[in-house]
Amino acid sequence: MWLYFFVVYFCGIWAFSSSRKHLLITLLSLEFVVLVLYFSMFFYLCSFNYSLFFVVYFLVFSVCEGSLGLSILVSMIRSHGNDYFQSYSVLQC
């Protein structure tokens, strides 16, 4: 079971590191990694009968991370018209 989570986690990391064209694909692969971490923590804490409050805190922070990513995506689309990384420069005001 843990090998499955390990392989899926590294597939998500590979997808995150290889997608450099669109911001939306990068955000989706990052959410996939967070979801795999959530399930692995949930199964780990349930298997040893620990409290699940940490999982709830992790879920709250992952939702905040997702909403911040979507707000950056909407801001980028409104200012540049697309979500390509090539059209966005940090040096522009």
From first to last of its 93 residues, the chain has per-residue pLDDT tens of 789 889 999 999 999 888 778 888 999 999 999 999 999 999 999 999 888 899 999 999 999 999 999 998 898 888 888 888 776 665 555
Q: What is the distance of C-alpha 1 from the center of its chain? A: 22
Both tokens of residue 21?
Answer: 């064209």
Would residue 75 count as lying in a domain?
A: yes
CA angle 90, 92, 93 (to 5 degrees): 110
**Domains of the chain: total:** 1
Would residue 14 count as lying in a domain?
A: yes
The pTM is what? Answer: 0.83
Would residue 9 count as lying in a domain?
A: yes
Domain that holds residue 14: 2-80
CA angle 90, 84, 70 (to 5 degrees): 80
Would residue 8 count as lying in a domain?
A: yes
Would residue 86 count as lying in a domain?
A: no
